[in-house]
Structure 1
Amino acid sequence: MDAWRTSVLMAVYHRVQPDHFAQALESMFTQTLAPDEIIVVEDGPLGAPLLEVLAGFEGRDIPLVRVALPENRGSAIAAQAGLEVARHPWIVRMDADDISVPERLQTQMTVLREGGIDVIGSAMLEFDGDATNVVGTRSLPLEHDAIVRYARINSPVNNPSAVIRREHLLAVGGYRPVPFMEDYDVFARLLAHGSRFRNLAEPLVLFRAGAAMFQRRAAPGMLRAERLMQRNLVSYRLVSRPRSWGNVLVRSAFRALPRQALQRTYRSLFYRRRDHSGESRP
């Protein structure tokens, strides 16, 4: 098996708009470095329009592997179902309504071939409506030590930009149901496992933002999810118990802000330039 072959892992469910899904798939089928397979997990019945999109990509030059779940089970179970059928050493995460730039895989795999990295992500261009309407660049810490520190308060990788060593994902148990925070949880377990992380400053994914993104952050059950995630961080020995209580308070206060204040605070936290050490610039 080629040590650098890739499996793209996407999950789609019935509420994804067909044209958004088609754009996401097209962006992976037209990479300058082609993936070796694209796995799409159908998280419950999709309906005719989404099925037509899928059918339109079958028979192209990259194998399209479809995994159909009989009912909607959520992102963690869908991702795990895709992971279990993936055949290649690197798992390329991709959301069903975002867009990868054409050079995404080539850029990330070039860095991974240098060695010493098990998880790589990148900055993302957030857009609202049309992909040309970029509202900001979501940046996270770049180097491993800064990523470890950041993981104590928030998910340290933009999940739609992640490429992860499959062997490490399997070693930590894959994806587990942690409502709203499955990605944060798996990255925290990978850090606790000893996986080495890196984020690239170059935006390699266009992320669909807008009002719906902020509505999800204030969804019912979020406080319960925050408590569960903080208990997990304590059990992974990434934070102390007192620190976990503080995190719940701070993160819950952030989510409770009025919409406009929430948006302004979000931009101040994430739309920032970072220096080469991975720390925020003043």
Structure 2
Amino acid sequence: MNDYISVIMSCYNEKIKWISESIDSILNQTHKELELIIVLDNPENTEIYKLLKEKEDRDKRIRIFKNDKNIGLANSLNFAISKCKYKYIARMDADDIALPKRLEVQMKYLIENNADIVGANCILIDEFDNIIGQSNYPISSKQINSLLNYTNCLAHPTWLLRSDLYKVANGYYSYNSAQDYDFLLRIKNKGFKIMNTPEVLLNYRKRASSIGSEKSLDQFQTAEYIRKMNRSKVYDVHCVKNFNNTKEDNFKFNKIIKFPLGIKLTSLRMFYEVTMIFKHKLGLRYFMYLYKSRICRWRIGGYK
């Protein structure tokens, strides 16, 4: 069982079709030695739970858990990790599709390069399965370690890692967003080897709810805090609570950010909003965060 993989997934409000396709894409991997642990973080969604139980009955590699209440992605994943049996753990999102050789290619790449965690390049798809972009992630650990100081460069649902990394890093911290970025910075600081495979191994879905500037701003706020605290010698899980309590006080410019990256300045109102961003002390940094995310992570389109 040295090469067995525990795949972890959390569901909340994804479409039934997406969840079914995501699960099937894992079960149909060329690397068959796996278990799929799925946590339903929306106990009131009986439709999703019914689908999950049907999948579990058909394939004994699936194990389903339902939270008593919504506890968030980070806590749901930590719970899933606690149920994993195997030496390697892979991440998967309930609205993405893994290509058939994903786990086989990543396992071989991780072992041959003596890496501790590997991601992969992705095809970006929309809610209608149309291809709208492709990732352009760095490959080598040296490039990744450098870029991680500024932005995330491993797609979370492509991770394959040694399970002991979660133990050493004490799992995910419960930020509302950017939990994966925080985890990567912490294991980078501990000297673990982080890499990406050059191959495209996942169809990565960009949902309409993730396109708007409100979510990108929340990610920026969280990422700024994470970068700051990871440079601090006092960073620990208690810092997350402090951030969640003070985020709105620390970032006052969120009300004037109303546009996604790449929008054309077709009105005086839009020009005014752009001008206000650059007048704010954090506005330029926010704009550069969006720009770097686009250039470093996707050849076309934006980010999830």
Query: Structure 1-normalised TM-score?
Result: 0.82
Q: Deviations over 1:191-248 (max 9, x none)?
A: 11111111012110101114322227636755642343123321379xxxxxxxxxxx
Shift in CA distance, 232/4, structure 1 to aligned 2, threshold 3 Å: farther
The aligned residue for residue 26 of structure 2 is 28
Aligned pairs (5 A) from 1:1-282:
2-13=1-12, 15-131=13-129, 133-215=130-212, 218=215, 221-222=218-219, 224-235=221-232, 256=257, 258-259=259-260, 261=262, 265=291, 267-272=294-299
Range with greater deviation from structure 2 (180-189 or 27-36): 27-36
Distance in 2, matches of 1:218 and 1:61, equals 36
Deviations 1:91-110 (A, max 9, x none): 10000111000110111111
Q: Secondary structure at the match of 2:211?
A: helix
| Contact 2:43 2:69 (C-alpha < 8 Å) held by counterparts | yes
Q: Cα offset for 1:23? A: 0.8
Paired residue total: 257
Please give the secondary structure, in 1, of the residue aligned with 2:65: strand
SS in 1 for 2:52: helix
Which contiguous aligned blocks of 4+ residues in structure 1 show a shift greater than 4 angstroms?
A: 219-224, 262-267
CA distance in 2, matches of 1:186, 1:259: 26
Alignment CA distance shift 1:160-1:223 (3 Å): closer
Q: Deviations over 1:56-84 (max 9, x none)?
A: 21234452112221111111101100011
CA contact (8 A) 1:41 1:78 kept: yes
**Is 1:178–1:228's contact at 8 Å kept on the other side of the alignment?**
no
Deviation for aligned residue 1:113: 2.8
Identical columns (%): 23
3-state SS of the aligned residue for 2:19? helix
Query: Residues 267, 34 of structure 1: CA spacing in aligned structure 2 closer, same or farther, 3 A cutoff?
Result: same
Give deviations 1:151-204, integer Å, cap 9, x for gaps: 001113111111011012111111111221100011111111111111012110
Deviation at 1:31, TM superposition (A): 0.6
Contact persistence 1:31–1:104 (CA under 8 A): yes
* In 1: Cα distance, 2:214 partner to 2:193 partner: 28
Distance, in Å, in 1 between the alignment partners of 2:213 and 2:84 is: 29
| Alignment partners' CA distance in 2, 1:223 and 1:157 | 16
Distance 1:35 1:75, change over 3 A: farther
CA RMSD of aligned residues (A): 2.8
What does the per-residue CA deviation read over 1:102-136, in whole Å, with 9 as the maximum and x for residues that have no partner?
110111111123251110110110011333x1111
Specify every segment of 5 or more residues in structure 2 that has no aligned partner in the other structure, as ranges. Answer: 235-252, 265-289
1:87/1:93 CA distance change after superposition, 3 Å = same
TM-score, normalised relative to structure 2:
0.76
**In structure 2, what is the equivalent of residue 280 of structure 1?**
none
One-letter amino acid of the structure 1 residue matched with residue 176 of structure 2:
P
Distance (Å, rounded) in 1 between the aligned partners of 2:233 and 2:115? 21
Which residue identity does 1:140 align to in structure 2? Y
> Structure 1: which 5+ runs fail to align?
238-251, 274-282
